[in-house]
Structure 1
Amino acid sequence: MPVWKALPRAIRDAHQALVDAGNWSGGDVVRLGLGVSRPYLVTHPDHVQQVLQERAAIYPRGDDTALWRSVRKLVGDGILAEGETWAASRKTLAPMFRPTRIAALVDTMAAAIAEAVDHLDEAAATGTPIDVGTELSRIVCSAAMRVFLADRVSVNDALRIMAAQETIVTAMAPRLLAPFMPWWVPMPGDRRFHAAVQTIDDILLPVLRESLRHPGDGDDVLSTLARARTPDARALSEKQMRDDLVSMVAVTTETSYVALTWLWPVLANNPAVAKQLYEEIEQVVGTGPVRAEHLPQLTYTTMVLEELLRLFPSGWIVPRRAAAADVLGGVRIDKGSTIILSPYATQRMAAFWGPTADVFDPERFAPGRAAAEGRHRYAHYPFGIGMHRCLGEHLFNLEALLIVATLLSRFRFAMADPSIPPTRVAASLRPGRRVEMTLAPVGRPVAL
């Protein structure tokens, strides 16, 4: 795609530009003319599978790609790194995300979420508008801090961390749009980025050092890291623990609240979906509280969340760097080339989702539908695939169900602005404006 066609679209709307390029190529590998940068866009599920799974060794994350350079400046070397460091961190932390462990903590999560949602009663009673992103941040933090950090980090401090993460992922935007720019060249957002990283360290390092003095025998993140050992039986360094801890806080909070922020305007624009969602939650949960045994019965709610992640995947762009020459989809890839994969693009392309690909339709994820349609397994990969598949996938699936069921068993809502927000260029898929709504207890009309 020549620069005169690709660059103006990317400047105007970077997210839609990837969808347009994918549709234009029909899923073929396409080189995007973006001026100095000329990455290859990979959208076909076959090619996604090859890059992220079958030939993953050829396509590492690459510290010199704009996204991973920025991420490494936040999280350092750990679960988001590569090679032996990544493998060691994954081995230490992966057991915390096993489905059996997460499932055993559902009622604990549900209680934390219910307590956090209680704080919305006053706003609902008075008809005071709420900022959806802010409130979801608080709800997600309440659950994550209890389940993963054993309340060693207060909810208020966790909210400060999430505010810093918000600064970080948005401050990265100039470098995402100018990936060729070296880090030693100052760019807008750099100062905010470094200040936010320092804020996170100022909160977490004292907690980390306290856990080293009193590690405990629990299975929370800090106790697990304090007991962990390197392959040669040494304790982890403070830096290694810090890097893994920062990564874990991001993994357990970021996707949930960012993805769920999109849900409410989507439901406002799809009243038939909202009605069916209300009916299922009322039938299964009633007036609450939500419990573990309710979750398997929330079939339609699960379908809604799957469709939400299809259209609004938090991780919208996945860059890779070719460590060796390769041929992908008949296209020669030179060593050192930048590869861009985008769940946002693949999951919105007509070639894989039909002519209504941009329509919100939870029935796409009805049981048996994907197999009946012959849908490619990797036409939908909001959590990635292969060895770097997100550890937090199962956590999100349960936590999101709990949050949505808890909120909609207690409240109805009306949006201050019912339109779907534009997207904002950042490390994760964020709305381009604040999302605000008014709540009312179930059974009472919502004040518009």
Structure 2
Amino acid sequence: MLHRKLTAQSRSATLSCQRGSSAVGIPHDGQSHTRRAHSVPLRQVVPSLLRDPARALVEFGERSRGEVVRLNLGSFRPYLVTRPEHLQQVLREKSDNYVRAGDGLQWRPLKRLFGEGILSDGEYWANSRHILQPLFTARRIESLVDRLAEAIEDAVDELEAPARTGAPVDMGTEQARIVCSAIMRVFFADKISVADAMRIMQAQDAIAWSVMPRIMVPWAPLAVPMPGDRSFRRAVRLIDELLLPTVRASRETAESDGDDIIATLWRGRTEDGGRLDERQVRNDTVAMVATTTETTISVLTWLWPHLEKDPQVAARLYEEIDRVVGGAPVRREHLRELRYTRQVLDELLRLYPIGWLFPRRAVQADVIGGVPVEAGATIVVSPMITHRMSMFWDRPEVFDPDRFAPERVRARHRYAHFPFGGGPHQCIGMHLFYLEATLIVATVLSRYRFRLRRRAVPGIKVAAALRPLDRVEVTLRPVEGAAA
């Protein structure tokens, strides 16, 4: 039903584009003259969000036809920005004017977990970014390929027993175990055990759900109790109990330790030569545990149902991995040849971007797409919306990795696909995701084939990060001649 509705709206939008003007009579470059933003009424916004947030948000994007509109949430009326040219203005060209909205929408409830640091803005963000960025450059991440590959290989070994007996496995849980095993070894020098990392993942999952009432009612003061607050506090307390002793102990050995994340934070110098205090090291440690694990765990959960649903995609992926990797362990030399695997990952990120909402606050008044935006206004930027709009993607509901063939990527606007954000705040874990996810997919599928216990592709549950609506359980069988 949603696809038919969006297709009808797409035709209307396309006709409008072909006539060279929008439904409200301004050029689509939006810069010739200004107008007031069209407002989506409160009676449409709130019931739709309560019924099905993911579908409602995509419908708001479709109905906007790429224009800047306001979402009427009563006293809170953010601007929705969806067109790639406008996104480039907000995220890159005028990024200094559009800062993370620390006092509203998504970030305000989550700030109680992450605090000031790499996930905030201003001086705290700049200091953390300056210290952490060298750990996540493309060159350094590529230097870690073999270490990550070996850690992933060891973790995948544990799938041998259920594959031999035919026992079902929960791929969300198994991916969390594989990712935590690799990341804690390579990026945290085993200072955080895999068992503790898994407990942190569970706490982060609880936090993602618990903050939803505050995201849905962003005008509510933090002092006003809301559903989810108790669960949130419990989860944050658990994370601190697990991480703070490690953070404090690392302070004494940081100078002699290697280049793991916690030691780097203690040892690092800010741009003015200062050091981070314990609170900011704690904040950045919590943020980096989440950043280095959550995207891969969540996004890959949708891979297996899509491969089951799309046999041609699965066959191409299997063929590439079998041809490139064969029966050997996955290593650095294989990655450049796994081109279709990368396209599959890009298509997963299009449909299920873990960072699905990037709210921004306008520091000074500006004009976006012909719409005046006042100082202090909240701007809503959502990869989930833009990635699923039929103005920018043909048949956006279809899983089609060929969208990311090199020639098609070159023909597309850079900000039509931005799962990791853009500009100075682009996620520093982007290169790590592609490396880590490619290694996991290639390692698992070079050794096993699978069958889903439930064939349907799970729907989307909108939380602080997107989650599958249902568990993904599979049975595995070994591939003959695969590396053991």
Q: TM (normalized to structure 1)?
A: 0.96
Tell me how far 1:231 sits from its aligned partner: 4.8
* In 1: Cα distance, 2:366 partner to 2:274 partner: 39
Tell me how far 1:348 sits from its aligned partner: 0.9
Q: How does 1:243-322 map to 2 (within 5 A)?
A: 243-322=283-362
Quickly say closer, same or farther: Cα 1:153–1:70, change in 2 above 3 A: same
* In 1: Cα distance, 2:75 partner to 2:162 partner: 50
- The alignment status of 1:396 with 2:433, answered yes or no, reads yes
Partner of 1:323: 363
Which segment is superposed worse, 55-64 or 191-200? Answer: 55-64
* In 1: Cα distance, 2:270 partner to 2:381 partner: 33
* In 1: Cα distance, 2:310 partner to 2:131 partner: 43
Correspondent of 2:109 among 55, 70, 80:
70
Correspondent of 1:229 among 269, 274, 283:
269
Cα distance per residue 1:310-333 (max 9 Å; x no partner): 111111111112222222111122
Q: How does 1:46-445 map to 2 (within 5 A)?
A: 46-215=85-254, 216-231=256-271, 233-354=273-394, 356-371=395-410, 374-443=411-480
Quickly say closer, same or farther: Cα 1:335–1:145, change in 2 above 3 A: same
* In 2: Cα distance, 1:19 partner to 1:9 partner: 11
* In 2: Cα distance, 1:419 partner to 1:382 partner: 24
- Write the letter of the residue equivalent to 2:276: L
Contact 1:65 1:320 in 2 (8 A): no
Tell me how far 1:36 sits from its aligned partner: 4.0
Contact 2:130 2:270 in 1 (8 A): no
Contact 1:140 1:256 in 2 (8 A): yes
Contact 2:109 2:215 in 1 (8 A): no
Tell me how far 1:78 sits from its aligned partner: 0.8
- Write the letter of the residue equivalent to 2:458: P
Cα distance per residue 1:350-397 (max 9 Å; x no partner): 11112x1111111111122222xx311110000000010000000001
Alignment partner of 2:139: what SS? Answer: helix
* In 2: Cα distance, 1:156 partner to 1:94 partner: 27
- Write the letter of the residue equivalent to 1:223: A
Contact 1:288 1:406 in 2 (8 A): no
Contact 2:131 2:270 in 1 (8 A): no
* In 1: Cα distance, 2:55 partner to 2:74 partner: 18
Partner of 2:65: 26
Contact 1:169 1:428 in 2 (8 A): yes
* In 2: Cα distance, 1:234 partner to 1:17 partner: 46
- Write the letter of the residue equivalent to 2:47: P
* In 2: Cα distance, 1:123 partner to 1:403 partner: 18
Unaligned 5+ runs, structure 1: none
Alignment partner of 2:164: what SS? Answer: helix
Taking only aligned residues, the RMSD between alpha carbons, in angstroms, comes to 1.4
Cα distance per residue 1:387-444 (max 9 Å; x no partner): 1000000000110000000010111111121111121121111111222111111259
Quickly say closer, same or farther: Cα 1:235–1:13, change in 2 above 3 A: same
Quickly say closer, same or farther: Cα 1:57–1:123, change in 2 above 3 A: same
Which segment is superposed worse, 324-333 or 403-412? Answer: 324-333
Contact 2:210 2:232 in 1 (8 A): yes
- Write the letter of the residue equivalent to 1:328: I
Alignment partner of 1:201: what SS? Answer: helix
Tell me how far 1:226 sits from its aligned partner: 2.2
Q: Percent identity?
A: 55
Alignment partner of 2:360: what SS? Answer: strand
* In 1: Cα distance, 2:269 partner to 2:357 partner: 33
* In 2: Cα distance, 1:443 partner to 1:221 partner: 39
Alignment partner of 2:455: what SS? Answer: coil
Cα distance per residue 1:287-306 (max 9 Å; x no partner): 23100100000011111111
Contact 2:451 2:476 in 1 (8 A): yes
Q: TM (normalized to structure 2)?
A: 0.89
* In 2: Cα distance, 1:236 partner to 1:88 partner: 8
* In 2: Cα distance, 1:28 partner to 1:63 partner: 25
Alignment partner of 2:367: what SS? Answer: strand
- Write the letter of the residue equivalent to 2:345: L
Alignment partner of 2:392: what SS? Answer: helix
* In 1: Cα distance, 2:109 partner to 2:333 partner: 41
* In 1: Cα distance, 2:258 partner to 2:216 partner: 43
- Write the letter of the residue equivalent to 1:417: R
Cα distance per residue 1:15-55 (max 9 Å; x no partner): 12121111112111111223443221110001111111112
* In 1: Cα distance, 2:271 partner to 2:86 partner: 35
Partner of 2:24: none
* In 2: Cα distance, 1:427 partner to 1:388 partner: 18
Tell me how far 1:232 sits from its aligned partner: 5.2
Equivalenced residues, count:
441
Quickly say closer, same or farther: Cα 1:232–1:398, change in 2 above 3 A: closer
Alignment partner of 1:198: what SS? Answer: helix
Tell me how far 1:336 sits from its aligned partner: 2.4
* In 2: Cα distance, 1:236 partner to 1:334 partner: 35
* In 2: Cα distance, 1:60 partner to 1:378 partner: 18
Tell me how far 1:227 sits from its aligned partner: 1.2
Which segment is superposed worse, 110-119 or 7-16? Answer: 7-16
Correspondent of 1:9 among 15, 26, 48:
48
* In 1: Cα distance, 2:312 partner to 2:480 partner: 18
